[in-house]
């Protein structure tokens, strides 16, 4: 197992988790509403893709693990807050605001666009409050999770600044319990499924449990207890996930059990999976080795831009083209071919975005690397 300082560097298996999550999310959105195909292979793919929104839980758990770990390692450094917020801004904001500027400001100025395009109700996108908005421009609905991440970045350094890893671990566990209790109370009052799904406080358990994992590997006593039990931890994640399937009707987000207990079970299994992947040796553990597969890691490297682009391509270009060409119910084989094409095009656009735009800002992150006081 790497020591905590080694966890500051890139861990190939975590890039693989990013890749797994983004592929799952893209296929889920592309195949949403697809008719059940007659081919057993395509039917199996549809069954796997259907709960692909769970990939967002993986992103949240991974973000909680990495952000919490980085903040704990930076405690006591000069410019603790400045460096963190600057590095996050350089990673997230250039592409994000470039997309908003091009699609919501420049495009309607240059051309007259009809439905389904809309640039109405765009203020929540600029303010990172899309997860609280009642309405957004068409195609931008997936930006709710980026808003959750930004709100998490805003508050989390304030918490980690004053708490060592052992106390931060307890805080993370209590936050995860609080998120479950909050969802249960809101569900009892028939609050909408969208609120339970997108509200930051309601989805803090995945972020917090990922953070708890980062704390655990930085507390020497817990780390020594965890290391010999990595195999059990790796088995626990899928067991919890499978146990939750009948309890939550396959984690249906529009059902009460799925939106309450289900999110917590997914948060725990995602966080356990992330911690296991971070600590396992890919050369000795086969599944950890799979996560280091180069194509999967490459998708992980470009996952941010893939997430930003994929649903915009799907909603603004892909869906209208499918309906215009094949009618309201395109053939199953066409839809599955389209889903793979969307994944490929999203990846290629993300590669171009990374090297043409994002990389120039990422190189500036070294200016804000944590430095000892």
Provide the total of helices (H) and of strands (E) in the chain, helices listed first. 20, 2
Peptide bond before 264: cis, by omega within 30 degrees of 0? no
Would you say residue 146 lies in a domain? Answer: yes
Q: What is the band of 373 on the pLDDT scale with cuts at 50, 70, 90? A: low
**pLDDT on residue 209:** 98
- Please name the residues in contact with 328: beta carbons below 8 A apart, sequence gap of 6 or more: none
Indicate the angle between helix axes 230-247 and 263-279, nearest 10 degrees: 160
Q: Is residue 242 part of a domain?
A: yes
Q: Which residues pair with 371 in a beta bridge?
A: 78
Separation of alpha carbons 330 and 112, rounded Å: 28
Q: Are 6 and 287 in contact (CB under 8 A)?
A: no
Burial class (CB within 10 angstroms; exposed 0-12, middle 13-18, buried 19+) of 301: middle
Domain carrying residue 52: 9-63+91-111+132-154+177-211+234-368
Structural tokens at position 252: 């249906």
Backbone region of residue 353 per phi and psi (left: phi > 0; alpha: psi in -120 to 50; beta: other values)? alpha
Which single residue is written with the structure tokens 């020594």?
224
Residue 372's SS3 state is strand
Could you tell me which of 191, 195, 172 has the C-alpha nearest to residue 268? 172
The tokens for 95 are: 């592409």
> Is residue 238 assigned to a domain?
yes
- The answer to whether residues 19 and 298 touch, using CB atoms and an 8 Å cutoff, is yes
Asked if residue 64 lies in contact with residue 210, where contact means CB atoms within 8 angstroms, the answer is yes
Please, which contacts does 256-261 make with residues 24 or more away whose CB atoms are closer than 8 Å?
256/187, 259/183, 259/187, 259/193, 259/196, 259/197, 260/180, 260/183, 260/184, 260/187, 260/196, 261/180
2 occurs within a structural domain: no
Distance of CA 143 to the CA centre of its chain: 11
Distances (CA, A) of 155 to 46, 74, 200, 201: 38, 16, 11, 12
Q: What's the half-sphere exposure (Cβ side, CA atoms, 13 Å) at 344?
A: 6
What's the average model confidence in pLDDT over 164-172? 97
How confident is the prediction for the chain on average, in pLDDT?
A: 93
Whether residue 123 lies inside any domain: the answer is no
Q: Is the dihedral of CA 340, 16, 207, 257 positive or negative?
A: positive
Q: What is the CA radius of gyration of the chain?
A: 21
213 has pLDDT over 90? yes
222 located within any domain? no
Give me the residue label for tokens 């917020």: 85
List pLDDT tens digits, range 267-314: 999 999 999 999 998 888 888 889 999 999 999 999 999 999 999 999
- Residue 2 pLDDT greater than 50, yes or no: no
Counting the structural domains of the chain, the total is 1
The pLDDT, as a whole number, for residue 285 is 85
- Compute the average pLDDT of residues 334-355: 97
74 in a structural domain? no
- Whole-structure pTM value: 0.95
pLDDT at 3 over 60: no
Neighbouring CB atoms inside 10 A of 314's CB total: 22
Secondary element (H or E) of residue 265: helix 263-279
Closest CA to 54 of 30, 31, 20: 20
| Least confident among 39-43, 83-87, 250-254 | 39-43
Query: Where residue 372 falls among pLDDT bands split at 50, 70, 90?
Result: low
- Is 229 among the domain residues? no
* pLDDT tens figures, 356-370: 999 999 999 999 988
pLDDT reported for residue 287: 83
How far apart CA 49 and CA 36 sit, in angstroms, is 12
pLDDT at 190 over 60: yes
CA 368/CA 86 separation, integer angstroms: 7
Angle between helices 12-31 and 294-301 (to 10 degrees): 80
pLDDT tens, position by position, 118-161? 999 999 999 999 999 989 999 999 999 999 999 999 999 999 99
In tens, the pLDDT along 24-83 reads 999 999 998 777 777 888 888 888 899 999 999 999 999 999 999 999 999 989 999 999
**Which two tokens mark 38?**
């007659």
Find out whether 52 and 32 touch, Cβ atoms under 8 Å: no
**By percentage, how much of the chain surpasses pLDDT 90?**
84
Residue 171 has pLDDT above 90, yes or no: yes
**Tokens coding 72:** 């704990």
- When pLDDT is averaged across residues 107-121 and rounded to a whole number, the result is 89
């Amino acid at each position: 197992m790497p020591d905590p300082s080694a966890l500051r560097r890139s861990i190939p298996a975590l890039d693989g988790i990013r890749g797994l999550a983004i592929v799952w999310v893209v296929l889920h959105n592309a195949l949403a509403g697809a008719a059940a195909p007659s081919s057993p292979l395509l039917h199996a793919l549809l069954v796997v893709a259907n709960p692909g929104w769970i990939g967002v839980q993986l992103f949240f758990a991974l973000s909680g693990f990495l952000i919490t770990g980085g903040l704990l390692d930076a405690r006591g450094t000069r410019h603790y807050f400045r460096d963190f917020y600057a590095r996050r801004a350089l990673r997230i904001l250039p592409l994000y605001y470039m997309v908003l500027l091009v699609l919501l400001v420049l495009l309607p100025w240059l051309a007259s666009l009809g439905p389904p395009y809309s640039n109405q109700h765009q203020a929540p996108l600029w303010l990172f409050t899309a997860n609280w908005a009642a309405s957004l421009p068409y195609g931008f609905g997936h930006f709710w999770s980026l808003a959750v991440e930004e709100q998490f970045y805003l508050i989390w350094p304030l918490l980690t600044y004053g708490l060592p890893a052992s106390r931060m671990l307890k805080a993370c566990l209590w936050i995860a319990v609080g998120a479950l209790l909050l969802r249960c109370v809101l569900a009892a009052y028939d609050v909408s499924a969208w609120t339970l799904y997108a509200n930051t406080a309601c989805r803090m358990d995945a972020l917090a449990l990922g953070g708890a994992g980062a704390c655990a590997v930085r507390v020497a006593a817990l780390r020594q207890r965890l290391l010999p039990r990595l195999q059990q931890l790796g088995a626990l994640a899928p067991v919890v996930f499978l146990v939750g399937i009948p309890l939550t009707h396959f984690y249906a987000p529009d059902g009460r059990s799925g939106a309450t207990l289900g999110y917590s079970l997914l948060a725990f299994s995602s966080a356990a999976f992330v911690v296991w992947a971070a600590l396992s040796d890919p050369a000795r553990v086969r599944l950890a080795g799979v996560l280091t597969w180069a194509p999967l890691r490459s998708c992980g490297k470009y996952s941010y831009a893939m997430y930003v682009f994929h649903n915009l391509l799907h909603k603004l270009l892909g869906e209208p083209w499918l309906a215009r060409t094949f009618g309201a119910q395109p053939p199953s084989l066409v839809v599955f071919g389209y889903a793979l094409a969307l994944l490929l095009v999203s990846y290629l656009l993300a590669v171009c975005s990374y090297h043409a735009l994002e990389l120039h800002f990422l190189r500036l992150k070294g200016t804000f690397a944590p430095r000892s006081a």
